[in-house]
Structure 1
Amino acid sequence: MAQQSASQISRWSNSTVIPTRPVSYADLEKPSPPPEDPEENVFTTPNSSPPQNHPPTLDWDTPDDPLNPQNWSLVRKWFQTYTISGVALVGTFASSVFTPGIEAVAAEFHSPTIIATLAFSIYQLGLAFGGPFAAPLSESFGRRPVVFISLPIFALFILGTGFAQNMATIVVLRFFAGFFAAPSLSMGSGTLSDMWQPEKRSTPMSMYVAAPFLGPALGPLLGAAVTQTLGWRWTSWLILFFTIVLVIVPAPFYWESYKPVLLRQRAKKRGQTVPPSPLESMKWNKALKTYISKTLTRPMHMLLTEPIIAAFNAYSAFNFGLLYAFFAAFPQVYLDYYGFDSLSTGLTFLGIGVGVMVATIFIILFTKKWYLPHVRDAVANDKPKPLFATSRLEPEKRLPLAMVGGPCITIGLFMYGWATAYRVHWIVPTIAEGLFGCGNMFVFMACMMYITDTYGPLYSASAMASNAILRYILGGTFPLFAVQMFQRLGPQWAYLNEVT
């Protein structure tokens, strides 16, 4: 499948959009030759200006260059992985912790339930719109500034949500909270690609990928506890607590990891000639136009022109939308069919969390017992790297996870729908939730690793930003009709409709 992009090269060479991927990973690490001077080999008079000296292309000093994030110590790598996973956990926890308070908010502000549900789902739409604007910033200016600028602004909007006095304020503030949470969420895969070699990336990537599923699973549980005892406004204070502990405290120790930024910073310290960035030496209006046309549009360009990105994004995004449809419908299903209160309903979300944890363990075992032996075999036999792959093996070697995850999702949906319709013991739909969470984790992990192995560390942030666009748009829109679909069709036919 990865070879389908071979036809894109000639079109990229003539496109006004920044190329989304180098020809190969080997070419990525080679110093690029200086651009050809159009006046070269042309006769010049004695009064003409001499040819310009092009600055050298920057690269690591040696393969063991300590500045290279892939040469960092394991402690430093894992701390960075923990920090970026904490960002993903907080950003997605904030999306679902509001769920148990939907009815309370609607009652306090005398609003229809659908409007209160919009206040819940608007956060995902903020994540969708924030990704395209902010994720490429990490590739232009570095990963670290994104954390220090976007997350404090996110915390301020969450703080305002806790003091909101009407529904319109909640909707607006939660949208912008999601908007400013998106940058750090979108750059996670790129950060891990900076630090970890492809053959060693599965374990830290599984930790990072688990966070966006554990966050939404923990949100309704803790949100139900504080809503039932302290009120819905405490969901905002809960988000701020997790933000401080998991993100703000370790943020000062978050190191820059993006290669071009690191090399440019070192060259400036050494007094070397630094190659100009695309936006330097431009007037502000031309620089803004160039930035919008080339940098901000890169995720959408990849989504619309890359069959790989379009196919994998559509599949993983639909499953993500089903996940948030679960969150919106769970309270209604367990209240009407099992008579659970809000706290008991929140506990049922642990089924998804357990499924995600089981999937994470299986992903680690899959990597150690199947993927890495194939890598060692390729190295021992000196097999050439696959064309258009940044890893030692073909990106398709990541797909067995999705082959298992797809059936798990389908079986989980069938079990949940028909078990709740006939009021089978609550443990059965809870197990179905676990199957659904496990399958969703498998599919998303396979898609992310495939995209990361295909597009490499330089462009994976934009590739995953395009993934986030679809995921969060569907995650924000599915809850708006999920409850009505369950009420009109019943759980068995509603889930059958989702399966088909």
Structure 2
Amino acid sequence: MSQEQSRDEIGSHFLLQSDSQTPVQTPSRHASPTPVRHTKTTPTRLSTNQRSTADSASPQRSLQLQENAYEHDLHADLHWAINPCNPRNWTKRKKWMHTMLFCIISWAIMLGASSMTLAHGVIKNQMQTSSIVAVLPTSVYLLGLVLGFFSTPSAESIGRKSMYIISAPLYAIFILASGLTNSMSGLAICRLLAGFFAAPALQLGYASILDIWTVENRVLPIVAYTSTIIVGSTLGSVLSGAIMWRQHWRWTQFAILILSSLFFGAMFFTDETLKTMISRKGWKETSKLSLVRGLVKNESVRPWLVFFSEPLTLLCGALNAFYFGILFAILTGFPDVLSQAHHFNAGAQGLTFLAMSVGALLALIMELCHQQWCYEPRAFRYKEEKKRKTWIPPSTSPPPEWRLWLALPASALNVASLFILGWTTHNHWMATVIAMAIYAFGSSLIAVSTTLYVLECFNSSQQNEGMWAGSSILTYAFGFVFSLFSTEELKLGPGLGMSVYAVMSILFGTIPAVLYIFGAALRKRRKDRGSK
């Protein structure tokens, strides 16, 4: 009897723990049964407003609980690592197909930025405007890129592929309108809006490459993507000269429309690379307020603020922006100089700018050779030395400052090339061609080196996307200002105008050396500040 009573007590104890709100008492075997009273309950009637509120809130509440459960799932990272939809688990062929498409799209967008540089003189005469107003179609395109980078955070809510598909037709529409308009104001507005809708593709291409490639394998794709932006900017002037030699200036826009339509159309056959969007496909429901919530509260906005508050990123961004601004000052201002000094027509002027494209391509080859035969062997020896000293395989790469090796001599090359470009213009056209090639070579090396440097200073992909966006905003803002006033500045003389840029380059050229010497200390200060 005592054993049976003890079992009954244990059972009642577990029943009490299982439901604390309705305690259950297990009667003993000899206790008299308690009569059960049946009470009539009336259902509570909800008002129409309460019923609609409850019905609308329950799906949103359940979706929010599902999303929170996924975000806090301890095995979510493991599931993503082995997920076949993870872009990093794609085949190498598929990765490179997507990467090359992103590079080509960025190349086509920057081709459109400089596609009207050799049409300024014709537009000035046809529309009876001043030199500064005639440059507006090129300058406001860069201004549109600046403004368009503020719309890219919405991609975190609708996906990178969806953002491509939305922005591409709008870009094509305004490029077409630029070629059809007959007024200067209409041309400037259409070019501004075309640049605005082209900016998301530049940002998302870089972000998609970070989604696809791991830290160990992303150097070559990043180098290729950064180089295509400079190559596209210089080839746009070559295309402009070839078209202006035989056709009307409107065909500079029609040619860009044809190229961009082909490349943007290929985006329909690509796959999504954003992790949150791929994971969201697993849910049966989607939140109607996801886009609004992503626009109002988006984590990708914060790194932009970090860019302007971090000395490392701000210095690298200012350096690239300055050299990019000079690049567009040369592209917009030197056609008149070449016409006056050597009586070049539009076709010959375009071929002159081909030297800058060659210089940028040589910089790409130089960077790849340096990565293969200089950086990687030294990085391997660095890790082996660390392993020998600590008996533990090192988990970190060499110092990020190693990425600045090529930027140090490239800064000196840029200063020399600007002096040569300014003071030998009236001597022989070959000197101008060589100086342009050297400048594009040095600027490309600096752009690639500083991009890789910032990429290794910040490990988070989201932070790197924000840093790229902040740097791009500064870069295209400099391009807008420098290109707008380049023709007026060069009226003082190419020697004096380029000398001003060369002297400023001496100041900006010290930035790689400063980062190489004090970069480790600045990174340590950032980590200490973050730990506090």
Q: Shorter-chain TM-score: which interval?
A: 0.7 to 0.9
In the alignment, which residue of structure 2 is the partner of 1:170? 187
Instruction: Out of 181-190 and 64-73, give the one that drifted further.
Output: 64-73
Instruction: Out of 68-77 and 367-376, give the one that drifted further.
Output: 367-376
Question: Which of 97, 122, 131 lines up with 2:140 in the alignment?
Answer: 122
Instruction: Out of 359-368 and 141-150, give the one that drifted further.
Output: 141-150
Structure 2, unmatched stretches of 5+, are 1-18, 23-64, 504-532
In 2 relative to 1, CA 169–461 (structure 1 residues): closer, same or farther, beyond 3 Å? same
- Aligned residue runs from structure 1 range 93-172, under 5 A: 93-134=111-152, 136-172=153-189
Q: Is the 1:139–1:458 Cα contact (8 Å) retained in structure 2?
A: no
In 2 relative to 1, CA 258–454 (structure 1 residues): closer, same or farther, beyond 3 Å? farther
In 2 relative to 1, CA 292–311 (structure 1 residues): closer, same or farther, beyond 3 Å? farther
d(CA) in 2 for partners of 1:65, 1:451: 29
d(CA) in 1 for partners of 2:371, 2:501: 31
What letter corresponds to residue 143 of structure 1 in structure 2? Answer: R
Question: Which of 413, 419, 423 lines up with 1:414 in the alignment?
Answer: 419
> Aligned pair 1:313/2:330, yes or no?
no
Question: Which of 229, 247, 268 lines up with 1:230 in the alignment?
Answer: 247
d(CA) in 2 for partners of 1:108, 1:408: 40
In 2 relative to 1, CA 435–474 (structure 1 residues): closer, same or farther, beyond 3 Å? same
In the alignment, which residue of structure 2 is the partner of 1:327? 331
Question: Which of 480, 484, 488 lines up with 1:484 in the alignment?
Answer: 488
Q: Is the 1:309–1:463 Cα contact (8 Å) retained in structure 2?
A: yes
In the alignment, which residue of structure 1 is the partner of 2:274? 258
Q: Deviation at 1:98?
A: 0.7
Q: Is the 1:209–1:445 Cα contact (8 Å) retained in structure 2?
A: yes
Q: Is the 1:193–1:452 Cα contact (8 Å) retained in structure 2?
A: no
What letter corresponds to residue 268 of structure 1 in structure 2? Answer: W
Q: Deviation at 1:375?
A: 4.3
- Aligned residue runs from structure 1 range 397-412, under 5 A: 397-412=402-417
- Aligned residue runs from structure 1 range 378-457, under 5 A: 381=387, 382-386=392-396, 392-420=397-425, 423-455=426-458, 456-457=460-461
The 3-state SS of whatever aligns with 2:486 is helix
In 2 relative to 1, CA 299–330 (structure 1 residues): closer, same or farther, beyond 3 Å? farther
Q: Deviation at 1:429?
A: 1.4
Question: Which of 470, 481, 488 lines up with 2:474 in the alignment?
Answer: 470
Q: Is the 1:132–1:299 Cα contact (8 Å) retained in structure 2?
A: no
Deviations 1:164-190 (A, max 9, x none): 010000000000000000001012222
The 3-state SS of whatever aligns with 2:264 is helix
Q: Is the 2:144–2:195 Cα contact (8 Å) retained in structure 1?
A: yes
In 2 relative to 1, CA 151–400 (structure 1 residues): closer, same or farther, beyond 3 Å? same
Question: Which of 337, 341, 353 lines up with 2:341 in the alignment?
Answer: 337
> Aligned pair 1:495/2:506, yes or no?
no
In 2 relative to 1, CA 374–62 (structure 1 residues): closer, same or farther, beyond 3 Å? farther
Q: Deviation at 1:454?
A: 2.9
What letter corresponds to residue 112 of structure 2 in structure 1? Answer: A
Instruction: Out of 64-73 and 146-155, give the one that drifted further.
Output: 64-73
Deviations 1:125-184 (A, max 9, x none): 0001101222x2333433211211111110110011111010000000000000000001
What letter corresponds to residue 193 of structure 2 in structure 1? Answer: F
Q: Deviation at 1:405?
A: 2.1
What letter corresponds to residue 404 of structure 1 in structure 2? Answer: P
d(CA) in 1 for partners of 2:491, 2:405: 37
d(CA) in 1 for partners of 2:304, 2:91: 36
Q: Is the 1:132–1:466 Cα contact (8 Å) retained in structure 2?
A: no
- With normalisation by structure 2, the TM-score equals 0.76
d(CA) in 1 for partners of 2:405, 2:155: 31
Q: Deviation at 1:431?
A: 0.8
What letter corresponds to residue 269 of structure 2 in structure 1? Answer: F
Radius of gyration: which is bigger?
2
d(CA) in 2 for partners of 1:385, 1:141: 35
In 2 relative to 1, CA 238–62 (structure 1 residues): closer, same or farther, beyond 3 Å? closer
The 3-state SS of whatever aligns with 1:200 is coil
d(CA) in 2 for partners of 1:309, 1:435: 26
In 2 relative to 1, CA 197–294 (structure 1 residues): closer, same or farther, beyond 3 Å? closer
Structure 1, unmatched stretches of 5+, are 1-43, 387-391
Deviations 1:50-91 (A, max 9, x none): xx8951433242745432222211111111111100111111
d(CA) in 2 for partners of 1:308, 1:385: 23
- Aligned residue runs from structure 1 range 295-306, under 5 A: 295=299, 297-298=301-302, 300-306=304-310
Q: Is the 1:189–1:460 Cα contact (8 Å) retained in structure 2?
A: no
- With normalisation by structure 1, the TM-score equals 0.81
d(CA) in 2 for partners of 1:338, 1:65: 61
- Aligned residue runs from structure 1 range 201-220, under 5 A: 201-220=218-237
The 3-state SS of whatever aligns with 1:99 is coil
Aligned pairs, number: 431
d(CA) in 2 for partners of 1:175, 1:478: 17
> Aligned pair 1:187/2:210, yes or no?
no
What letter corresponds to residue 77 of structure 2 in structure 1? Answer: D
The 3-state SS of whatever aligns with 1:340 is coil
d(CA) in 2 for partners of 1:326, 1:175: 21
In the alignment, which residue of structure 2 is the partner of 1:221? 238
What letter corresponds to residue 202 of structure 1 in structure 2? Answer: V
d(CA) in 1 for partners of 2:378, 2:216: 10
What letter corresponds to residue 454 of structure 1 in structure 2? Answer: C
> Aligned pair 1:90/2:118, yes or no?
no
Higher RCO (Cα < 8 Å, 6 or more apart): 1
Question: Which of 72, 77, 96 lines up with 2:95 in the alignment?
Answer: 77
Question: Which of 258, 263, 268 lines up with 2:283 in the alignment?
Answer: 268
